[in-house]
Amino acid sequence: MNLEGINLQVVIGTIIGIVIIFALIKLVSLPFWLLKNSIIGAIILYVINFIGVFTIKITFIHCLIVGVFGIPGIIGLYVYLNYLK
């Protein structure tokens, strides 16, 4: 295979283009990831409030915290809302 005809600038430009495309895909998918985790967090908070273990008001920020951090987020919210606030 003859690689003498391939220009180094073309190779570097192609690699940079691919990296930019992947970065844009990641940037566009971030809001959907946050929305998905917020919905999951709201469901978890609703179940916890329905069972009656303890009560945490369902807000977007609380749902986001629970959706992103999971069980430690629930514990952290409980401690913050009941003991530190």
Q: Give me the pLDDT at residue 53, please.
A: 80
Read off the pLDDT of residues 10-69 as tens digits, 9 standing for 90 and up. Answer: 888 999 999 999 999 999 999 999 899 999 999 999 999 999 888 889 999 999 999 999
Task: Identify the H or E element spanning 50.
Answer: helix 8-51
Question: What size, in residues, is the chain?
Answer: 85
What is the reported pLDDT for 55?
87
Please say whether the beta carbons of 85 and 79 come within 8 A.
Answer: no
Amino acid at 39: I
Question: What is the domain partition of the chain in residue ranges?
Answer: 30-84
